[in-house]
Amino acid sequence: MEQGALHRRTIEVIGARVGLGGRCPGTADGPAAMRAAGLLEALGDARDLGDVVAREVVRTPGRDPGAAVCAEFERVSLDLRHAVEDTLARGALPCVLGGDHSIGAATQAAVGRAARAAGREPPGIIWIDAHTDANTMETTPSGNLHGMMLAAVHGLDVPPFRRIVEGGLRDPLRTVYVGARDIDPEEREIVARLGCRIYTPDEIRARGPEAVAREALAIAGGRDGGRAGEDDGGQGGAVSVSFDLDSLDPSVAPGVDCHVEGGLSWTEAETLLRLIGHHPRIVAVEVVEVNPSADIGHRTAHLAVRAAALLCARHVPPSARH
């Protein structure tokens, strides 16, 4: 695909007003904050499909989120999965707005299901996040659903996600974590067993974001992104990308649910996102974990808009270095 075709591709925006998976329900207001910060203007000719909306549910204290939360989470996640599958069936690029990162199960399963329905290998995943989100109900210290979805997407049994990921599992050997730095001990063992690649902020700084972006695309894209046995023309395989604002340092992006020091600067992130977004076979984009109640002067929402535009290969002038 030539570069100009990237900019002509139809983008469909899908909001996910979901705050059930984390500590702060305020992340459910992330889609509205991104739209208010100019998302549709930044994307240009995007079509806004509106939001899937989670109902308010009281969470049970403790590590088990409770039956009511899990039931509502499954319902809204299946709605989101169907919406993303419909967008993919129309040949458009889904740009999913969170909401907490638990919605990633629906987005990524939709991508896997759509690929299999078309007789294609499921794409790889680039997961830009402070966390690896690979706990199970047995290993989670918090019970937060937004810390478990990739375990389910990679085929581990996580009961709240069973129906959501059905038919949409993804290959962990083609999953790349970028910016991860807050990983629970048992979760780290899971990620190691699965064989996912982790690029920490320290490695990104040591090697440079350009080198890491290219290597991440090589791992996630592979050489098998088309139909089985089909040559990819040297472009690399298909990839879906999920960007969590907590991959950035809290000094840069204060409006998130989980603040983890030592994150990416915006200059580092912008370089990564620009290179990844111009990969010719990006099939889905997700931007999550904007928490307007914790934001300062809408800084995080505005960065989320820039991130979405970069990943959708829209023209975004380089920022001043910071």
One of 74, 121, 246, 249 is an active-site residue; which one?
246
One of 12, 29, 79, 146 is an active-site residue; which one?
146
One of 74, 100, 133, 171 is an active-site residue; which one?
133
H or E, element range at 52 = strand 47-53
Strand partners, 17: 53
For the beta carbon of residue 175, count every other beta carbon within 10 angstroms: 25
Task: Look at residues 195, 191, 197 and name the one whose alpha carbon lies nearest to residue 176.
Answer: 197
Residue 198 has phi, psi (to 5 degrees) of -115, 125
Are the CB atoms for 101 and 149 separated by under 8 Å? yes
One of 171, 187, 244, 270 is an active-site residue; which one?
244
Q: Does 129 participate in catalysis according to the annotation?
A: yes
Q: Does 244 participate in catalysis according to the annotation?
A: yes
Torsion of CA 127, 129, 130, 133, to 10 degrees: -60
For the beta carbon of residue 233, count every other beta carbon within 10 angstroms: 9
How far apart are the C-alpha atoms of 203 and 195, rounded to whole Å?
Answer: 18
One of 12, 74, 79, 101 is an active-site residue; which one?
101
How far apart are the C-alpha atoms of 178 and 156, rounded to whole Å?
Answer: 21
Q: Does 101 participate in catalysis according to the annotation?
A: yes
Q: Does 146 participate in catalysis according to the annotation?
A: yes
One of 74, 100, 129, 257 is an active-site residue; which one?
129
Are the CB atoms for 125 and 170 separated by under 8 Å? yes
Q: Does 246 participate in catalysis according to the annotation?
A: yes
CA distances from 210 to 186, 219, 263 (A): 31, 14, 17
Q: Does 279 participate in catalysis according to the annotation?
A: no
Q: Does 268 participate in catalysis according to the annotation?
A: no
CA 317 to chain centre: 23
What sign results for the dihedral spanned by CA atoms 305, 310, 314, 319?
positive
Q: Does 133 participate in catalysis according to the annotation?
A: yes
Angle at 241 between CA 98 and CA 227, to 5 degrees: 130
Instruction: Give the 3-state secondary structure of residue 201.
Output: helix
One of 51, 79, 268, 289 is an active-site residue; which one?
289
**For residue 129, with 0-12 CB atoms within 10 Å meaning exposed, 13-18 middle and 19 or more buried, which class applies?**
buried
One of 131, 154, 279, 302 is an active-site residue; which one?
131
Give me the numbers of helices (H) and strands (E) for the chain, helices first please: 12, 8
Give the active site residues.
101, 129, 131, 133, 146, 244, 246, 289
